Each structure stands twice: as structure tokens, then as C-alpha cells.
Amino acid sequence: MAELIESKQLPCSAADARQRIAENWQRVCLNVAEATAAAGRQVDEVHIVGVSKYVDALITSWLVDAGCRDLGENRPQLLDQKATWFAEHRPDVATEIQWHQIGHLQRNKVRRLLTVKPLVHSIDSERLLDEVLAEARRQETSVDVLIEVNVSGDQAKTGLPPTELPGLVERFFARPDRSSSSHGVQIVGLMGMAGWGTDPHQARPQFSRLRELRDSLVDQTDVDFPELSMGMSGDYAAAIAEGATLVRIGSSLFEGLL
Ligand SMILES: *Cc1c(COP(=O)(O)O)cnc(C)c1O
């Protein structure tokens, strides 16, 4: 990943950068709405997670000012730092932001991360799920998570092998301590990524595979797993056509600045 773009090293004035981000946000919202309508779905079924991992906290705040309230980061330290920055510098919007942990999460980062109450997209092992549950109980908080599944078969990609999904979910549901009314962990869906270098055309069957895996979990457990986090800047239309409810979009929102 490239270095974080900082507000003081922008290729243009801050005012121009703000304007650019606002236009990018509008354009992406429109494109997502069009893809949603083209798939015969309701516009409010798909939410955009603005992936702000490329830029510093101040530039991230311009995306929030443009209208984005869901922010995704792949490094938990950066997510935490930015959440702290918003609490200090932008209390007017800080409480409206839903943070999303979308990148690989190490177990020793869980404690700190949960204080921000993020939606965790990247549960890629049973040990990590157990750690998040233990920590949620310790903090007496409630955490929503997605299980990240490797649907591309790409060795370089993270995610649980699809064959391990039913067992993990079965053992989780067998735990009496998994959630109470006030604290615990809810698995609300699945997350997936197309393999490196796949074009949107090749990505689509991988997204449909993720939806099928979700549907079989619903059959297995009789529980709803409503969220499907799939699709990025290059392939979100294909993901929406296959049922995505959360699209994780970064580079398209910062076009002209990266
Ligand atoms: C960076 C990242 C994204 C956003 O990708 P873009 O191509 O910049 O839209 C989405 N999901 C994950 C897990 C990422 O790390």
C-alpha cells in the first residue's frame, strides 16, 4: 500500500481537494444507485463504506462532510487513531460515524479496537472470533461481525476456506455465552473479495459464490445473515448484481488525489 496522503502534501489546494472529494462522493452514490436499480433492488438495500485508508484524518473528514457516514480502515491502529481524532476535532459528526474494520485483524489488536464499536468485516479464523467474543464479554459490549471467506481460492488472499464455514458457525451457535441482550457477538453476514487481477466479469461468479454460502448458512441455522460485504472500486456493480449490501469503495472516492 502507498503511503498515507496527508493534507499538507496534496497536489492542489485544500479547497480544491474538498471539492474533488465531494464530487467523487456524489458520482459514486449515483453509480451505486444505478447499479442497484439495474439489479432490480431497492436503493436503500446497499450501503457505501468509504474506505479512507489512503488518506489522513483531516482528508477523511472531508469525505464525511461530503455525506459519507460509514468509514472503513484496514489497519486497526489507524482506525483507532482516526476515531480519536474525530472525537477531539469533529465532535459534531464523530458520533454519527460507523467505523468498519475491513483488513486483517490480529488478536492482540482486538481489545483496543472494540472500544470504537466497529463492524468487523474480517473475521477470518475461529480463534479470532473467540477472541472478539471474549473481549466483547469483558468490555460488556455488543459487536457485529462478518465472517471473511476466501471465495477466490487465491492463496494470497485472506479469509476462511469455504469448507470451514459451516463448522465454525455450528460451534459458535452451540455456545450459550455467544450473546445476551447487552453484550456478545452477532454474526451478521459474510465478506469476500475477488482474487487479484480478476476483472469484474470474472469477479461476478466469486460474488455469487459468497451469496450461495450465505444462503446455505441460513438454511443450516434458521438465522438471517443479512449483510454481504463485497465489491470495491473496480467491481462493485457486479457485486451489487449478486446481492451486496455493503460495498467497500476507496480509490474512486479519492480520484484526483492519490
Ligand atoms: C482497500 C480496500 C478496499 C477498497 O479498495 P478500492 O479498490 O480502493 O476501492 C476494499 N476492501 C478492502 C478489504 C480493502 O483493503
Determine whether the shortest distance from the Cβ of 211 to ligand 1 is under 6 A: no
- Mean pLDDT calculated for residue range 62-66: 98
What pLDDT is stored for residue 202 in this prediction? 87
Report the separation in Å between the CA atom of 112 and the middle of ligand 1, taken as the mean of its atom positions: 23
Structural domains of the chain, ranges and CATH numbers in brackets = 7-254 (3.20.20.10)
Percent of the chain with pLDDT over 70: 99
What pLDDT is stored for residue 2 in this prediction? 55
Q: Is there a contact between 166 and 175 (Cβ–Cβ < 8 Å)?
A: no
Q: Report the interhelical angle of 126-138 vs 165-173 (nearest 10°).
A: 30
- Mean pLDDT calculated for residue range 88-101: 98
Q: Provide the 10 A C-beta neighbour count for residue 255.
A: 14
Note the pLDDT tens digit of each residue in 152-189: 887 777 899 999 999 999 999 999 889 887 789 999 99
Determine whether the shortest distance from the Cβ of 250 to ligand 1 is under 6 A: yes
125: phi then psi, degrees, rounded to nearest 5: -160, 160
Report the separation in Å between the CA atom of 220 and the middle of ligand 1, taken as the mean of its atom positions: 30
- Mean pLDDT calculated for residue range 6-12: 88
Q: Hey, whose CA ends up nearest to atom 4 of ligand 1?
A: 250
What pLDDT is stored for residue 1 in this prediction? 47
Note the pLDDT tens digit of each residue in 110-152: 999 999 999 999 999 999 999 999 999 999 999 999 999 999 8
Atom of ligand 1 nearest to the CA of 234: 7
Note the pLDDT tens digit of each residue in 226-251: 999 999 999 999 999 999 999 999 99
Q: Model pTM?
A: 0.96
What pLDDT is stored for residue 158 in this prediction? 84
Output the DSSP codes for 98-114: EEEE-S---GGGHHHHH
What pLDDT is stored for residue 33 in this prediction? 98
Determine whether the shortest distance from the Cβ of 28 to ligand 1 is under 6 A: no
| Residue 199 clears pLDDT 90, i.e. is over it | no
Residues with Cβ within 8 Å of 153's Cβ and at least 6 positions away in sequence, in order, are: 195
Report the separation in Å between the CA atom of 217 and the middle of ligand 1, taken as the mean of its atom positions: 26
Atom of ligand 1 nearest to the CA of 1: 1
CA dihedral 139, 121, 127, 84 (to 10 degrees): -40
